[in-house]
């Protein structure tokens, strides 16, 4: 399956948002736990930032 750039542009924020909602439901220390690298919340916040930086450096 080939993912085009417009499709990735929509999928990355949706995946990140789903990860944040999942973290809010599952983790007990949700807002404070986002600073721990063992937390899914941390990576859900890091994903769009990484995508944004990569996209702007690449193109």
Sequence ranges of the domains in the chain: 19-58
CA distance 51 to 12: 8
pLDDT at 1: 59
The pTM assigned to this predicted structure is: 0.69
Digit-coded pLDDT (tens) for 29-41: 887 878 888 888 8
Digit-coded pLDDT (tens) for 5-16: 778 778 888 888
Q: Residue 59: pLDDT above 70?
A: no
pLDDT at 6: 77
């Amino acid at each position: 399956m080939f993912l085009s750039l417009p499709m990735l542009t929509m999928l990355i924020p949706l995946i990140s948002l789903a990860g944040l909602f999942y973290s809010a439901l599952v983790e007990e220390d949700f807002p404070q736990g986002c600073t721990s690298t063992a937390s899914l919340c941390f990576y859900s916040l890091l994903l769009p930032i990484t995508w944004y930086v990569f996209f702007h450096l690449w193109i």
